[in-house]
Chain A
Amino acid sequence: MNLNTVTEVRRPATAEEVVDWRDGFAWVGGGTWLFSEPQADLDTLIDLEGLGWPPLVASDGGLEIAATCRIVQLHEFSGPPEWTTVPLFRACCDALLASHKVWNMATVGGNICMSLPAGAMIALTSSLEGVATLWPRAGPPRRVAVADFVTGNHANVLGPGELLRSIHLPASALAKRFAVRQMSLTHLGRSAALIVGTMAAVDDDFRLTITASTPRPVQLRFEALPSAEELRGVIDANIPPDAYFADVHGSAPYKRHLTYYFAEQIRRELARGEA
């Protein structure tokens, strides 16, 4: 929709040009959320497109995803054969309520910075042990795990004007086995639960990343595959019954129920899996 209070668009070539950050400014990645709601508090848009960040850079160390990488680019990505989790990229793109047309503009960074519980790029990058690089308006860049980047429903650690530059997925995480489960109240709708389990190829370091059913990602780590009972116990200990996220896309009791159900399914799938 038209953002009728916006009176200026800046299209800088570098982020350093933006030194006078104030309320009323907003970075624009794909714009797909920003333009989907009235933004009466904004008057200036600062376009990230001109910064020219390469969307996906694969190296021996892992994959560097620029915040401005479009979702469609992630969906189309095919990595080296040892990166066994690349199919999870597609699964998480498909878990978005947004259709492929939105993916053509929407960015990975935008989805993460929106910090919605059902943000599928949050599920993807946190489960794959992603580390975000943030550029504060003043001061040196800082790094924070994606799992810690999101602090609540529509809340994160970004300071005013601070920019999410990229997410780094370590090669070790990309080479893991994984299992994923998702459910929404309508078919291919917004996730009520989007839960990813990963396990190192040598059958240890089981991680369960719970998203959508909780306000922020919850990552549970186990040195080896837990028993069903142990898994339930750890979920109990980490997520009290009243800590689930209720909204029109699913009640809290339902999301809690799905969390346990899917967690156990994931545990069993990874237990069965080939190393």
Chain B
Amino acid sequence: MNLTLNGASVSGEPAAGQCLRTFLRDLGCLGVKKGCDQGDCGACTVWFDGKPVNSCLVPAFRAAGHAITTIEGLAEEGRLHPVQQAFHDAQAFQCGFCAAGMIMTVASLTDEQRRDLPHALKGNLCRCTGYRSIVDAIGGVANVEADTAGAAMGASLANPFSEGIVTGKARYTMDTAIEGTLHLKVARSPHAHARILRIDKAKALAVPGVVEVFTWEDVPRRLFSTALHEDHLADPDDTYILDNVARFVGQRVAAVVAETEAAAEAGCRALMIDYEILPAVFDPEAAMLEGAPILHDNGGTAKGNIYVDIGGEVGSVADGFARADTVFENTYSTSRVQHAHLETHGTVCWKGEDGRYHLRTSSQGPFVTRAKLCYLFGLRERDLHVFTERVGGGFGGKQEMISEDLCLLATLKTGRPTTWEWSREDQFIGASTRHQMTTRVKLGAKRDGTLTAIEVRVVSNTGAYGNHAGETLGAALGSPMCAYRCANKKAEGFAVYTNMIPGGGFRGYGASQSTFAIECAMDELAGVLGIDPFELRRKNIIGPDDWIESVWRDPSDVGFGSYGLDQCLNMVEQGLADGARAPKPEGDEWVEGKGLALAMLDSGPPTEHRSGAVMSLRSDGGYHLAVGSTEMGNGSVTSHRQIAAAILGARACDIAIINADTDETPYDTGTFASTGTVVAGKAVHLTALALRDNILGYASRNSGQPASEWTIEGGSVVCGETRIALTELHAAGTREGHRFEAKRKAYLSPRTVGFNVQGFRVAVHTHTAEIRILQSVHAADIGALINPMQCRGQIDGSVGMGIGWALMENMVYDEGGRMVNPSLRNYRIPAFPDLPRNQITFADTHDAIGPLGAKAQGECAINPVAPAMANAVANATGARFRHLPLTPDRIFSALERRP
């Protein structure tokens, strides 16, 4: 058939049931993205005869004779379309995966639609930005500042891959064409707990195009953990690549590789799998009881289904409660949620002409992934190359090796390239989630509000596999228990195996869950005592001279590189009092209230974490920076360039950067646990300093002037009146055999701490239970701001994600453990109409530990959001909701009953 594609006549023959999205990608338009493939996210938006459509929903055959415009066709004569330029100037993206579809939608809007953005944009989901920067772009607001030599630190500079992102040329994991690749699909268990008695491959192998079928009998029988950490002992070895026992609905049971996705799917359907159904348990309390079905018999530390239990006490809570005038106790729970990064998991693996195996993947930790693959398959590290190009969001979901192993297995067994692209349903039923936790909090206080004892008991449902359960439980009992000064603290926690989908790493990492409980309980205590919630916190918060202590006496490597919690509390209190807000809707049925919560988080994990960077001066006077850490929308490539530019007196654009590639960059544990700035950034900082010393040292030797007299300014080294261009210096040095190169490594210790405080003003409809956010105020103590625009963006994104967790997101299961809503249509993440514009302020702090005074910033901002919302709703309605999410159908009956 013939069509007009971006102004040119093209012809092609789509498959009968092919959708326009994949047909356009086959024609080379890789800017057309897949976020959901179901019409819910808008990442695949193109124009059909000038009208925007979700190309995943359009039958490809319908395009015959019509004109299709994709993101690749938007710019004319090499000039960005005004909307592309606006998205660039506002930096209206973070990972950038949604940007092409978002731009195609915005560029199509009529004036009338632009006046009603909630309707106009509700069909385009962005998981990173909270939509604020997108509003900026539409309003013509430029957030980007000029890139000036010597002024990189603290400047709001653009992402170095911006132009590719707004033009659709940036290459995400699946945006590549590998000649002759096989496609992999998995058959997943329909049962929550079952032993696999037999898998008959014959019918599957008979499907035309199917090349191989792999089952538990075809994989190395080695236990491992899918969780990525530097120390592989941090997580339990309880998982096989493919197992003969299924422990949750959705566990992969067999993998089929075929010439086409269609054949691989048909092969999965044709597999005959005999199961012996085993009793299942879904509730962690039930799973801890005598007689519960046991999930794992692998030995290790598990006691029954308790994968790990940890606890501790400082002082004596018994004494503390005895001395209290008031003891408050209640139980709070948080829901299981999915990261919903717009780019699904996926890997492309091939054997190169160099005889090595190459994996292009969507990961937050390519180096640890390589190490795990080497362990599983008995390979040498030098035979494996794992890398990312652009990654479309992570949020902890890609701190997990769950797509790479099967691709490598298939390539090892067949010798053929293998591609596995996950569907959105795969994400919901087969990836990881935020651990569902239930937390009992008991607080003792004097009449004046002084805390005398804090006790918590956390039960975490880790699901079928342990992966991040120990570390998230540790985090739940860690920073949130440090935030308040109290002589008597006690905590115990249990991470329990059940036949649910596994929990995993997720922004906030266990601390979010216990922060919800503790911050709600503090609010309730304030109510009982009749003390203003801000005052109760001020009375008890940890101060800069206090010992940072949770429930363990051992010294830790956490210290105050800076302290700004007091400032944050003041800023939020003042913001709620004075700041701009939407008026309460008219009518007696609307009630208004406000609430706050605070959060404290160590900048970086207690586990081992290290990173390295290599930097060189090039003959053209520019620099090359290679750093191992991953960029998935967190902004680290931008901030790393700025750190280096600041040290070298350069413009950020003078620094070419490559990241997250086991061949091309030094080792990095991975970008997770708030390490992008404080570990990888520190490595970049040290490397840039070393390269500066190298350059100035050469200038000094060459001139006879001491190195201390020389500086780098823009493209030159300068000493008094003498100015030598870096190109000239490089040429001279190279002639003499000097190498303008440096490499440094960074390790995370000591660690500093950051703080975030969130305030909400809400209106609640007492009949429909609709919650409207009238005002959202956030204050962050994250040290010096390397890139203020990015820092705001991380907070906007965190607040948005936190609102989703608080108000709407919930993975719902039937009694058999099957997820009821595994799609973005039925598992709603915040869309444009759901999120407010946040008022964000920063404490004036400069950190003594973090690089250039900066602290971690991508993670902690989510932690106070849900409790601040629950507190605001309680303040408005007089009804307290202790279990997330606060959807109208879960809260309306309590509103009706209220006095």
Contact = CB atoms under 8 A, between A and B. Distances in A.
Interface of A: 1-9, 11, 28, 30-32, 35-37, 39-40, 42, 45, 47, 49, 72, 94, 97-102, 104-105, 183, 185-190, 192, 248-251, 253-255, 257-258, 261
A190 B61 CA distance: 30
B834 A187 contact: yes
B16 A6 contact: yes
B113 A31 contact: no
Contacts of B105: 101
Interface stretch (B78-86, B232-240, B261-269, B331-339): B261-269
B19 A248 contact: no
Interface stretch (B118-126, B165-173, B393-401, B557-565): B118-126
Nearest to A1: B37
A251 B887 CA distance: 10
B123 A45 contact: no
A2 B893 CA distance: 43
Contact of A101 (B42, B821, B825): B42
Contacts of B831: 186-189
Interface in B820-838: 820-821, 825-828, 830-831, 833-834
B137 to A, nearest CB: 18
B806 to A, nearest CB: 12
B466 to A, nearest CB: 29
Contacts of B203: none
Nearest to A42: B17
Contact of A3 (B17, B122, B769, B770): B17
Contacts of A258: 768
Contact of B833 (A37, A42, A188, A192): A188
Contacts of A32: 39, 54, 57
A102 B56 CA distance: 11
A11 B62 CA distance: 10
Nearest to B810: A248
A105 B49 CA distance: 12
A4 B124 CA distance: 26
Contact of A104 (B52, B119, B120, B892): B52
Given A101-B45, A248-B821, A35 B56 contact: yes
A100 B113 contact: yes
B372 to A, nearest CB: 31
Contacts of B56: 1, 35-36
B9 to A, nearest CB: 21
B421 to A, nearest CB: 11
A186 B42 contact: no
A192 B38 CA distance: 21
Of the candidates B19, B39, B105, B124, the one having the most CB atoms from chain A within 10 angstroms of its own CB is: B39
Q: Which 7 A-B pairs have the closest CB atoms?
A: A99-B123, A6-B17, A3-B17, A4-B262, A254-B889, A187-B833, A1-B37
Contact of A183 (B18, B19, B265, B770): B770
Given A28-B59, A39-B17, A257-B767, 9 more contacts: A4-B265, A36-B38, A45-B59, A101-B53, A183-B888, A186-B828, A188-B831, A189-B831, A257-B893
A31 B62 contact: yes
Contacts of B218: none
A100 B120 contact: yes
B59 A188 contact: no
Interface in B882-899: 887-890, 892-893, 896
Given A4-B261, A49-B62, A254-B889, A98 B19 contact: no
A102 B53 CA distance: 6
Given A2-B261, A100-B119, A9 B19 contact: no
A102 B123 contact: yes
A92 to B, nearest CB: 13
A185 B808 contact: yes
Contact of B16 (A7, A49, A251): A7
Of the candidates A6, A7, A36, A183, the one having the most CB atoms from chain B within 10 angstroms of its own CB is: A36
Contacts of B827: 248
Interface in B840-899: 887-890, 892-893, 896
Contact of B889 (A101, A189, A250): A250
A49 B121 CA distance: 28
B58 interface: yes
B22 interface: yes
Of the candidates A39, A49, A105, the one having the most CB atoms from chain B within 10 angstroms of its own CB is: A105
Nearest to A185: B887
Of the candidates B57, B120, B767, B827, the one having the most CB atoms from chain A within 10 angstroms of its own CB is: B57
Interface string B44-55: 010010011110
A49 B19 CA distance: 16
Contacts of B119: 94, 99-100, 188
Given A6-B16, A187-B833, A257-B896, A31 B770 contact: no
Contacts of B271: none
Contacts of B15: 2, 4, 6
Interface in B1-43: 15-19, 21-22, 37-40, 42
A76 to B, nearest CB: 11
B376 interface: no
Contacts of B825: 36, 97, 190
Contacts of B59: 9, 28, 31, 35, 45, 47
B262 A2 contact: yes
Contact of A2 (B19, B807, B892): B19
Contacts of A36: 38-40, 56-57, 825
Contacts of A2: 15, 17-19, 22, 261-262
Given A1-B37, A186-B828, A251-B889, A45 B17 contact: yes
B654 to A, nearest CB: 41
Nearest to B120: A100
25 contacts: A1-B423, A2-B15, A3-B17, A5-B262, A5-B266, A7-B16, A9-B17, A32-B54, A32-B57, A35-B19, A36-B56, A47-B61, A102-B57, A104-B48, A105-B58, A185-B828, A185-B889, A186-B808, A188-B118, A188-B119, A188-B833, A248-B812, A253-B893, A254-B888, A255-B889
A31 B58 contact: yes
Nearest to B124: A99
Nearest to A183: B768
Nearest to A40: B269
Nearest to A37: B38
Contacts of A254: 769, 888-889, 892-893
B362 to A, nearest CB: 19
B582 to A, nearest CB: 13
B115 to A, nearest CB: 14
Contact of B888 (A1, A30, A185): A185
Contacts of A94: 119
A72 B49 CA distance: 14
Contacts of B265: 4
Contacts of B38: 1, 36-37
B889 to A, nearest CB: 3
Nearest to A11: B61
A253 to B, nearest CB: 7
A3 B124 CA distance: 23
A204 B18 CA distance: 52
Contacts of A37: 38
Of the candidates A7, A32, A72, A255, the one having the most CB atoms from chain B within 10 angstroms of its own CB is: A32
Nearest to B18: A2
Nearest to B61: A9
A47 B62 CA distance: 9
A57 B827 CA distance: 38
A186 B886 CA distance: 11
Given A28-B59, A100-B120, A187-B833, A192 B889 contact: yes
